[in-house]
Structure 1
């Protein structure tokens, strides 16, 4: 028999698991939903500090109470914040745990508090303000969100109104010490089998995790171990409320070790982002200065227009080669140089979804330096953004400078995905496009884009058309995200040619 120990996230108690637990029990499993101290109606003795260690102890108590019945396997399931006490307890009872299931959660690290997993800057600042206003330990709590603010902690997609009402009614203030105390791990649980259940409606997917592994994110390399599997649920961040039956089925599969296994980085094979550019382009020598590479046109006379290519992200700071050396970007830059335009690639510091402000500053600084180069016509510059750099387009559309002749974007993410939290208001292209005026816009849309990213594109295009913006869409009906590296087809090549011709026409006229 499998014994599931279910641990819920912020503000929530064991009640959120009721429907899923009933379905697991009906399937023959034993189920224990943990009541974390201070949540779900449980209260500590007066004057007791509640921190992460308190919640680790809560999970340990349940593991010990389940015991070691013959043939029984203990599977720990941590949702959201709940993965932190789960991992802490597994580290101390590794011999008693068969598998850990990460349910739409982060990857806790030794010495890092749970607050670090909160991507929304406003929520992190709210926690820190609450800690400053009260006593960090005794009684200090964070108030639960209002009914219409739960989505700030994760997408409420597909959650019925009645379930959202109940979630709000049963929510408890969350003890601040549990979010602020660093997790302590010995490494004893590192070898345990694990499964990740990703809720695609919250912006996560197996494909995205694989891409992050491919670009070399250090904390994710262990996820390519054969003992690690991944499954997806097409719903938001609260699957126990939106899809309890599907969640129960998925948890049973995870417990059995089913699911997708990631492909490890193979030194003998090129990951997708390092494959050769899909077009034959001239071998134009580059000139490197700090974080900028210039590809001047061969035998150019006089200042020439410049086309600056802005890579997506987030990209780990340790990724090598850095994006300006990725073949897709160097290929575009050489294509531009072959048509008499200075191609430009650069590295910026979008290493996490909290880095948009400094990435924007990096891009603005790079563009200013490019325009100051005597070989560049400072009055004829175009910008081309990719993927996760989409929010950076808002700065340029909101107040387009007269020298910006065109702005293009390939398979862009045009609004924060649900699991990103809120960005600064300046990084919302759908709001900025109303001020784009006559600035020509070119958007390359991948027909096989993930639903969550595609929704941000459609929101942007609706706003663009409503405001009368000059936007041309180049469709790649059978193209995936980053189609230039994945779909080496005539359709993809034709889309690149069409988009480049359009941008070059606006830039050189």
Structure 2
């Protein structure tokens, strides 16, 4: 049985996967949505990126999960990518959903204009507050979906965004799917584009925005199901 471990991006917890998780379970998969330390029901606990990598690895190892598909959305692609190389032959595939990927020695914020994020973290006493509703415009979300997203969102631990990633080998060797959400830009950038040139990486495009677990949960579940079937 395939075990999906689902990790949402900044401000979100396990609850964000409810719709997609239900669809995957209906297809016969085991699903473990994961809340990272400092978010949702774990809010307020200090956490850096290494803490989040450990959250993911512990979920797999303590649950003795096999045939694992790790799924990382947005920020979570960075700790998920690091966890993927640490769980060895338990890994079936890693799926990055419109996310960053870890680059050894670089933080999540490296490589894009992020001074405004650092300012927000400083103003938030070390936490990155959720954005206002108008920041979600143009991402294929209904007003109801935006309201639900923001109702559950919690400030994100800033240290996890600035702590550098640690990799022992290239991600090129991982069996990986990258899901590009087209309303958030049509082409993957930087490190992602380089990895997609590798033999074991594939690109899947979704005609929706950056939060497909809200805007297109059934379609996202189908993409994840199909990714799990890849050899």
Given the alignment, which residue of 100, 116, 137 partners 1:126?
116
1:50 is aligned to 47
Given the alignment, which residue of 112, 133, 136 partners 1:150?
136
Deviation at 1:232? 1.3
2:14 is aligned to 14
Cα distance in structure 1, aligned partners of 2:27 and 2:155 = 34
Q: Give yes or no for contact 1:195–1:254 (8 Å, CA) kept in 2.
A: yes
2:220 is aligned to 247
Cα distance in structure 2, aligned partners of 1:126 and 1:221 = 27
1:223 aligns to 2:196 (yes or no): yes
Q: Deviations over 1:331-383 (max 9, x none)?
A: xxxxxxxxxxxxxxxxxxxxxxxxxxxxxxxxxxxxxxxxxxxxxxxxxxxxx
Cα distance in structure 2, aligned partners of 1:219 and 1:21 = 26
Cα distance in structure 2, aligned partners of 1:59 and 1:107 = 15
Q: Deviations over 1:356-413 (max 9, x none)?
A: xxxxxxxxxxxxxxxxxxxxxxxxxxxxxxxxxxxxxxxxxxxxxxxxxxxxxxxxxx
Query: Which ranges in structure 2 are unaligned for 5 or more consecutive residues?
Result: none
TM-score (norm 2): 0.91
Cα distance in structure 2, aligned partners of 1:51 and 1:5 = 20
CA RMSD of aligned residues (A): 2.2
Deviation at 1:160? 2.1
TM-score (norm 1): 0.43
Return the structure number with greater relative CO, CA threshold 8 A, min gap 6.
2
2:142 is aligned to 160
1:506 is aligned to none
Given the alignment, which residue of 51, 76, 90 partners 2:70?
76
Cα distance in structure 1, aligned partners of 2:87 and 2:12 = 24
1:141 is aligned to 127
Cα distance in structure 2, aligned partners of 1:169 and 1:223 = 35
Aligned residues: 231
- Could you list the runs of 4 or more consecutive aligned residues of structure 1 that deviate by over 3 angstroms after TM superposition? 130-135, 217-222
Q: Give yes or no for contact 2:43–2:154 (8 Å, CA) kept in 1.
A: no
Deviation at 1:61? 1.4
Query: Which ranges in structure 1 are unaligned for 5 or more consecutive residues?
Result: 259-509
- Greater Rg over alpha carbons, structure: 1
Cα distance in structure 2, aligned partners of 1:165 and 1:39 = 18
Q: Give yes or no for contact 2:69–2:93 (8 Å, CA) kept in 1.
A: yes
